[in-house]
Amino acid sequence: MKTVYFDKDIPRILATKAIAKNKRLKNLLNSNLNAVKYAIDLPEPALPADDWVRVRNIACGLCGTDVSFYKATTGTTSALEPIPSSKRTFLGHENVGIVTEVGAGVTDFKVGDRVTIRAYMAGCDTKGIRNRCPYCEAGDYNFCLNYGAPSPYGDLITGAGWSDSFIYPARGLAHIYDGITNEQAVMVEPTCVSVHAVLRDIPQAGEKILVMGCGTIGLGVVQAIKIVQPDCEVWIMERVKTKQEFAMKLGADHVLAGEPYEAASKATGGSEVYTGMKGNKYFFGGFDRVYDCIGGDWANTTAVRMLKARGTMVKIGHHMRAVTYDETPVWWQELKLIGIDAHGMEHYQGRDLYTFDLVQEWIRDGIYKTDGFVTHHFKLDDYKEALTLAMENPPDVVKIVIDCE
């Protein structure tokens, strides 16, 4: 087995953090000091139980979570830090693969089926815990109560999306629909994030909405907003011209151009922009809803200041660490904050279904467009070059895909 994984080795993690924070040392991220490792000759593990399957990977997308592991950004003040975890975290979850072996108890999959990883975060459906917690049983696997519990099968070498093959509990996988190409299939999971973010609290007709950041997720949010609520006005905050143009093709109405606070006040009919010490700015009024697809200190502070009273901030972007931001507008303007943890079970138009099923219907039926998202391909052996490109993030990059065959 070939597989890329994050090694929970504290000295190596600390070294990776230090290197990532020092621009003069950035080339060392690609050295053996990095906590992300590549094993090329691991023995193929046996299926640990009769409800597991083996998958041969075709391809897998690269996302911000993979970059976070490569830079070891998780902080000691993060809520993730005290939770017990496996010695290895296998990278890659935006995948498409083919089932090559099924356990005797598997009924939902057969050899030859195309599949993708649905449940990626550690929980009942990734560890093979049969007595599932209430959240996993309801389809909201990202809220699993067994996140910190050990797998009944020990610390297995399973692989994941950035592997030539991997083993997985069948419950953690989803079918790839007929009529969806492999290139579209690697877009299913990130599209699920965008769609879930919009369906968590559907915009109302007439709302003025700001989408901050037009990477893969932000572009998907723009498209999803216009699918579920076309009668709203969408601005984007994005400095890259090509991504601005892409967002407009997907349904955005305006680019927030110029000084952000002045532009936001003008767009929403807000007050004068007041400027204090060190360029500190604020205005009254603002957008009905802001989708933060960037994350971090600046993005959090900016997002809450762009909202009108009782507006809604939808929090998607993150860096797996605690942040510092100005919370004043949250209590002062009685804002509503909605966190987004990927995807799960949707309740939409009278139906209860996984985000993975709804998204695949939309892609298959031409409702949601994926053309133009995948911009670069790399071989699995060249994963370091792929991550380097993602971190440099030149204007022509949207979605990078790792070819695993």
CA distance 186 to 194: 14
Q: Where are the domains of the chain?
A: 3-187+370-403, 193-339
* Contact between residue 391 and residue 23 where contact means Cβ atoms under 8 Å apart: no
* String of DSSP letters for 142-156: GG-TTTTSPPTT-S-
Euclidean distance between CA atoms 127 and 119, whole angstroms: 10
Residue 281 is given by DSSP the state: E
| Cα 158 to Cα 39: distance, rounded to the nearest angstrom | 12
Nearest Cα to Cα of residue 198 among 162, 259, 250, 146: 250
Secondary structure class of 50 (helix, strand, coil): coil
3-state helix, strand, coil in the chain (%, to 5): 30, 25, 45
Write down the pLDDT at residue 124. 96
Q: Which residues pair with residue 173 across a beta bridge?
A: 117
Token pair belonging to 299:
């993005």
User: Domain 3-187+370-403, what fold?
Assistant: Quinone Oxidoreductase; Chain A, domain 1 (3.90.180)
Q: Are strands 254-255 and 36-39 parallel, antiparallel or unpaired?
A: unpaired
What confidence score (pLDDT) does residue 114 get?
A: 98
Homologous superfamily (CATH) of 193-339 is NAD(P)-binding Rossmann-like Domain (3.40.50.720)
381-388: list long-range contacts, CB under 8 Å, 24+ apart.
381/2, 383/4, 383/38, 383/162, 384/30, 386/62, 387/29, 387/62, 387/66, 387/67, 387/70, 388/29, 388/30
How many whole angstroms separate alpha carbon 259 and alpha carbon 302? 12
pLDDT, residue 74, reads 81
* pLDDT given at position 85: 83
Give me the tens of pLDDT residue by residue for the chain, a chain 405 residues long.
999 999 998 899 999 999 998 988 888 999 999 999 999 999 999 999 999 999 999 999 999 999 999 999 887 788 888 888 888 999 999 999 999 999 999 999 999 999 999 999 999 999 999 999 999 999 999 999 999 999 999 989 999 999 999 999 999 999 999 999 999 999 999 999 999 999 999 999 999 999 999 999 999 999 999 999 999 999 999 999 999 999 999 999 999 999 999 999 999 999 999 999 999 999 999 999 999 999 999 999 999 999 999 999 999 998 888 889 999 999 999 999 999 999 999 999 999 999 999 999 999 999 999 999 999 999 999 999 999 999 999 999 999 999 999
Unique residue bearing structure tokens 């020092």: 22
Residue 124: which of 113, 114, 137 has the closest Cα? 137
